[in-house]
Amino acid sequence: MLVRIFEAMAVPVGVPLSLYLLAKLFPFKPDALPKESVSLDALRSKYAKWDRATLIPFFVFWGLGSYLLFQGLIWIFHHSLPQSHENRYVMLPDQYFFALPAMFIGILLSALSTDLLYRFLLRENYAEYLLYGNMRFGIDGWKVIRLMSILVVVPSMIFTLLAMDCYARFTDNHLITNRYWGFGEIAHNYGQITKIKSVGFVENLRGEIIKNPYHIVYFNDGSSWSTRNTFYRADQELKLSDEKEKQILAFVAKKCSKQIEQYDFLKKEED
């Protein structure tokens, strides 16, 4: 019930609160107003329809830009992977990892594209329209855009670079991982594997036990590698990924001469 209440309050409370905070942090200070004083009401009667119409190009640019950026990131990712004839199998992050940075950067690109469009359409009236927007909310819009550029682009780039450098590959002699929170490959030969576990169920954030099969490989140096998260997919199609993952781990088990231990559920991967 509380969750539903918070969801219902999120938009009507969150949006006005956000605008209030932005107005406090980035107040609009009209240093260079037109020589002839212009009231907000006069500007509203002239530009309100233009303001409402901004949603149309914004969402068009956002959808198109996010999609093209998403596809571009996937293309770069697949062409940046180590292409080796030694690879028998490769497991990669879920490609939808790149949808999140594409979506957030897409918002920024959409805002800039919409602004350029309005500069072209309004021409000499653009400055007056910009003044109307700033006066309407009491916010210096360009200061907000500059801050959002830093807050969106920098984390998105870090997130993307880490995802592009994450994979697991299997050769005839080694299991080689390049983990998300790290740089460079870690290679273990199959003789270093002490055991392999196959687990059928996991506990989600709400404490529910749900079916989500994964494997854990343990090494004699005390480290382990798991397919529990979405950093390692054997195939981008989930059902095919599960089947191919079983095939890959069967290959690993054969190489290290170990039986795969079957578990319904583990509280800890170290168990």
pLDDT at 271 over 90: no
Say if residues 225 and 177 touch (Cβ distance below 8 Å): yes
Q: With 50 as the cut, is the pLDDT of residue 13 above it?
A: no
Return the structure tokens found at 99: 């949808």
Residue 8's pLDDT is: 36
Q: What is the mean pLDDT of the chain?
A: 81
Mean pLDDT, residues 102-122 taken together: 91
Residues 90-97, mean pLDDT to the nearest whole number: 86
- Give the pLDDT score at 268: 67
Burial of 226: CB neighbours in 10 Å, binned 0-12, 13-18, 19+: middle
pLDDT at 45: 83
Q: Which position has the higher pLDDT, 104 or 271?
A: 104
Average pLDDT over residues 113-131: 89
Closest CA to 157 of 240, 227, 108, 101: 101
Each residue of 143-174: b (16+ CB within 10 Å) or e? eeeeeeeeebeeebeebbebbbbbbbbbbeeb
In tens, the pLDDT along 206-245 reads 888 888 889 999 999 999 999 887 678 877 777 778 889 9
207: three-class secondary structure by DSSP: coil
pLDDT at 96 > cutoff 90: no
Return the DSSP state at 139: B
CA distance 257 to 245: 18
From 65-69, 181-185, 190-194, 246-250, the region with the lowest mean pLDDT? 181-185
Distance, in Å, from the CA atom of 235 to the CA atom of 242, rounded to the nearest integer, reads 8
Virtual CA dihedral for 60, 61, 65, 68, nearest 10 degrees?
A: 50
| Token pair recorded at residue 263 | 């578990």
What domains, with CATH codes, occur in the chain?
37-84+96-164 (no CATH), 167-265 (2.30.29)
**CA dist., res. 24 & res. 191, Å (int):** 62
Write the CB contacts of 16 (distance below 8 Å, at least 6 apart in sequence).
Answer: none
CB atoms closer than 10 angstroms to residue 124 = 6
